[in-house]
Amino acid sequence: MRLVRAFRLRGAVPVFAGTITVVLLLVFFILLSTSFLMQPGIAVTLPTSRFLLPAMQDPLVVSVTGGPGATVYFEDRAVEPAQLGARLEARRASSRHVVIKADTDAPLSLVAQVTDMALEGGFSVALAATRPAAPPP
């Protein structure tokens, strides 16, 4: 006995259905993964915490490294702490938020000095002094 289809598939729809599905899945995964991109900049070792910063729209990032030669970086360039206020003021139109990434060995006095300069300039300051803690085993 031979079975006959009541509806005949014609054209390119069946051929491209799989391709369209794969393309839509790729677009979906790309949209989801854009929030997990690595942030370029100065490498600092942050202490761990159970709490994280909320997402901000285009913040200005100031990095404070630790060790004997503690340095302040703004826009991936070393900056003297005295010049930081003027550099932040020049970028005020682009963002009102400053994120300070302080290394574990960064001097607290230098971090406080950078925070004061940003607050004096009218910026909202978030101290990114932590990284996510490892989940308990």
- Going by the DSSP 8-state scheme, the letter that residue 67 receives in this structure is S
Give the separation between CA 91 and CA 96, rounded to whole angstroms: 9
Mean pLDDT of 56-72: 85
DSSP helix/strand/coil, 62: strand
Does pLDDT of 37 surpass 60? no
pLDDT category at 72 given cuts 50, 70, 90 is very high
Q: Which of 2-11, 52-61, 96-105, 107-116 has the lowest mean pLDDT?
A: 2-11
Query: What pTM value is reported for the model?
Result: 0.58
The confidence score (pLDDT) of residue 50 equals: 65
CATH number of 48-132: 3.30.420.270
Tens of pLDDT, residues 85-114: 899 988 888 888 888 888 888 888 898 899
| Beta pairing, strands 48-49 & 131-132 | parallel
Per the structure block, which two tokens stand in for 103?
Answer: 């290394």
Mean pLDDT of 45-65: 75
Q: Pick the closest to residue 83 from 66, 96, 71, 95 (CA basis).
A: 71
What are the E-state strand segments in 1-137? 48-49, 60-64, 72-74, 77-79, 97-102, 124-127, 131-132
pLDDT category at 14 given cuts 50, 70, 90 is low
Does pLDDT of 46 surpass 70? no
